[in-house]
Amino acid sequence: MTDAPIDFRILAGAGVPVREFTMSSSVRVTMPRSFVIQRGSVEIRLGNRVLETVSDYAIFGERR
C-alpha cells in the first residue's frame, strides 16, 4: 500500500509571498525555510545525484 501524496495547498494561501523560478534555476536553501510548489516540479539533488523529485502542491526546504 502506498501513501497518498500530501497536498500542501493550504500553506500557499493568501498573504504568503510568491517566488517564480525559471526552468533550470538553482535554489539553494541556506536558512530554515520551506517552499510549496504551486506548479511544476523540483529535483532535490546532492551533487549530480537526484535524491527526489517533487511536484505540484508538494513541499521542500530545510529545517533545523
Domain-embedded: residue 25: no
Secondary structure letter of residue 63 according to DSSP: -
Q: pLDDT of 2-16, one tens digit each?
A: 677 777 777 777 677
Query: What is the rounded CA–CA span in Å between residue 57 and residue 55?
Result: 6
- Please give the torsion angle defined by the CA atoms of residues 46, 7, 38 and 55, in that order, rounded to the nearest 10 degrees: 40
Q: What are φ and ψ of residue 9, in 5° steps?
A: -55, -35
In a domain, 4, yes or no: yes
pLDDT band per the 50, 70, 90 thresholds, residue 39: confident
8 A C-beta contact, residue 42 and residue 63: no
Checking if the pLDDT of 1 tops 60, the result is no
For residues 4-30, average pLDDT = 78
| Residue 27 pLDDT greater than 70, yes or no | yes
pLDDT beyond 60 at 37: yes
Quote the number of domains for the chain.
Answer: 1
| Phi, psi of 30, rounded to the nearest 5 degrees | -110, -10
Residue 61 above 70 pLDDT?
yes
State the residue range of the domain holding 50.
1-13+32-64
The answer as to whether 8 is a domain residue is yes
